[in-house]
Structure 1
Amino acid sequence: MDARAIIAALRRGETVGADALTWFAKGLADQSVSDAQAGAFAMAVCLQGLGHEGRAALTVAMQESGRTLSWDVDGPVLDKHSTGGVGDCVSLVLAPALAACGAYVPMISGRGLGHTGGTLDKMESISGLSTSVDETQFKRIIDQAGCAIVSANADIAPADKRLYAIRDVTATVESLDLITASILSKKLAAGLNGLVLDVKVGSGAFMKSLDEARALATALVETSNSAGCPTTALITDMNTPLATSLGNALEVAEVMKVLHGKERGALYELTLALGAQLLFSGGVFDSEDAAREKLSNVIVSGAAAERFGKMIVAMGGPLGFVDNPERYLPEAPVIREITATQAGYVSAINGEALGLAVVDLGGGRQVESDLVDPAVGLSDVAALGAKIEKGQPLARVHAAREGQADRAASAVRQAVALSDTPPAKQILVHEVIS
């Protein structure tokens, strides 16, 4: 077969068979397909689509480009994945909470894509911690902590690892087919007994409309279930940042507030919603209510924080992190309040604009080779519906340099709309698709 012929067929909107997609995925994995060809492939898929059968075939092909893990444990192997949002650090709360409930969570995660933050980048803001582990280390961490949040090693869906990085810098992140294949190739390779998907919709998500989010959620659920992994998707709101902080170390600090029982906002509530669905559908509890109560108890009691601490240590992080996280998280040299130039209710927040402001600060990547500054970002972002007086803070910017802080302040003022009347109450979970 020939990469150029496959790309040309996709560009023309023709059906490309499973054999051709398997060949291309193998070429991604063994480098026989060039970066230019991979980028052209991604763009062709983004523009023309693959259809249901092609999407499923690409998913399986990318999964089978490496090895599939197996687990010898005394509980269900469960996982969660988000399609990407702003201030979305649920994974760091949910993984240890599920582990404290008796599940095992081998979470293979990714780095930031576009305006959204990456779970691995957040984890690596913790001093000394490494998310790059081999299979033996991965299983050791799971044995010790019950959960692990790691990058896909060279043996796990290597075709996806290559294409994932290329999508980020070729404006092909939003493709329904590529998102489905990327997410599920890694998840299916992790040897799961159950999966819950957090499909974001709104200004801070890749899917801006409910119809787009529903189409993606349906594609993910159908593809995963057909591959033998029981899967449910929640369509959740991303018209406002999930946490009040955006940026890697800042989001980890917010996670610790939840795990210490000091924060009961949207981050906590969505953790319970996703976790309860997963534990119920995975057969761990007889009802969602019972699962939700147990999840709340392990967070409030500190059991989830204890699991988080064990995971951090097993991954090379500091022993005292849970008790004193500020000591092990970097701090930006420039910290400044961004104040409102008028009074009003926060009526809308452009989440994508805020995410891009964090990228501009250095908290994300504009090209694949960019290094991420874990200390920068935004904190104390005003909540949707909050009443703000002139001169009061809309957010606090954490920057490496004064000029970056100036640009971020301007971006925040443009992204946060103030009006005379409050907005309608936010709905956190729009739909459940199973």
Structure 2
Amino acid sequence: MEVVLLVAVTVLLGGIVVLLSLWGRKAKQGSESETSGEKANGHAVPEKQTTKKQKPQKPRKEKTQPHTFSHPLLASALKAHSGGITCLDFSSNGKYLASCSDDRTVRIWSTKDFLEKEHRCMRANVELDHATHVRFSPDCRSFIVFLANGDTIRLFKMTKKDDAFIFSATGEDFPKRHKSTIINIGIAETGKFIMTASSDTIILIWNRKGDVLATINTNQVANAYASVSPCGRFVASCGFTPDVKVWEVCFNKTGEFREVCRAFELKGHSAGVCGFAFSNDSSRMATVSKDGTWKLWNTDVEYKKQQDPYLLFTGKWSGKEPCRIALSPDGRVVAIASICDITVYNAQTGEIEEEFKSVHGNVISDLAFDINNRFLVSTGDRVVRVFHNSAGYRAAIADMKDMLKKATTKGTKDRLQKQIMDAQKALDAVYKHKD
């Protein structure tokens, strides 16, 4: 029994010795660790610092900076839309400019404010949708839009409320009839019909009640552009083929629709036509093609007697698609937008008059002259940029000086001299603003 107790005491003492030995080693290691953690400046720094694991920070999204553009001939920039502007249209009386945007609004601007610091506009809300195209009616007190989601036409009219004019939707939307994307819409200046054109080969002619009067198959593989002539008689289209086709929309003496018949064609390009534009009296047309040329045509012909339009001038352009073309109302100036740039040409000589680079932050979606030849407007982002038409004044002065040399009567000479003086005065005012 005593032997057993002795063995137990011996084992217990041995365990205590082992524990003390292990504890001493750990204490020594801790002392060495602290010593090795000392820096040269005498401050002890732990070998490892225990910190909470931080979540990786998400990269901050940089705000998209608005596109900036300046040019001596820039008359003004119209800013009110919060989304991209898709289409522009001047009223036939020259008093208003309409712009529609994917911000679900249409803005109506007063053209007399273009040179002012403040630019007034009226707003029309497009409920539960947004407009891709806008066109004024002949009375300038209403307009139509094409709805992006609804794929149809909606009419807005101006009404007076609390001594203020407002635009609001009226009547029912037109029925959906197109199967492809709409590329343009238009209203005849006569008020007799509305046109819609899609990217396949279809153009529809409607009355203002929303009934389809006629369907035109352009047979151009794919439509690139279509529009109603300013005189309200014709509908024209271009596309994959190297020509422009023009139809007359005919009505009888009582104003009832009769038929759509082929009027004439513009033939001369060697590749597909990207776009075209009419002069204000529809006597001139300008075309731009993938073949690297633009052409000016005399369309004041007796097509019912089989007389074809004839080519007035062919100019070269080195731009890229997508592109748009605009012809000044008097037919003296051609403007071509290529992606984000605009080039202005003299329509008679083909000389480049002005070049505007990187006008908008996105591809230029619309380009147009006002009916008084004073301004060229463009859009391709949230801003409408208004340029002085200096090329138009110079071309008009040159033309009238040539006419003055040929004038034979005192009355004609006096009239031309007065017009030259007025045009020169307007041009001087532009360059005064430019300086």
What is the TM-score of this pair, normalised by structure 2? 0.22
Which structure has the greater CA radius of gyration?
A: 2
Higher strand fraction (1 or 2): 2
